[in-house]
């Protein structure tokens, strides 16, 4: 599996490099309420937009999975409590046999 992940990563990196080399034209970026203007390559603008979208998706997924994480934490604590209770019951049963 690690080999497959490495191959996929190399292919994605190659595509990104080819995209960056092929799209070196410069564009001027302005954000309306701000008085700043930045000149960047098209590849930088596109890759930055992809990065921002990726991070926004990660945050949205993390927030959406909050209830699942909470439920797993509750179940993990319940299992731990039940295992401790079972251990105490076994100790009591052993002590009663003696």
Q: What is the CA radius of gyration of the chain?
A: 27
Encode 32-46: b = buried (16+ Cβ within 10 Å), e = exposed: eeeeeeeeeeebbeb
Tell me how far CA of residue 57 lies from CA of 29, 50, 61, 63, in angstroms.
23, 10, 6, 10
pLDDT score of 94: 86
Per residue in 35-92, pLDDT (tens digit) is 999 999 999 999 999 999 999 999 999 999 999 999 999 999 999 999 999 999 999 9
Which residue ranges make up each domain of the chain?
1-64, 66-98
What is the C-alpha separation between 28 and 32, in angstroms, rounded? 13
What is the C-alpha separation between 55 and 53, in angstroms, rounded? 5
């Amino acid at each position: 599996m690690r080999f497959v992940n490495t191959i996929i990563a190399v292919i994605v990196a190659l595509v990104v490099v080819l995209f960056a080399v092929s799209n070196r034209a410069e564009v001027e970026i302005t954000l309306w309420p701000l008085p700043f203007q930045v000149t960047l390559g098209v590849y930088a603008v596109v890759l930055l937009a992809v990065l921002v979208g990726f991070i926004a998706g990660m945050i949205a997924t993390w927030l959406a999975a909050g209830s699942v994480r909470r439920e797993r934490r509750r179940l993990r604590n319940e299992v731990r409590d039940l295992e401790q209770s079972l251990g105490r019951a076994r100790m009591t049963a052993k002590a009663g046999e003696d």
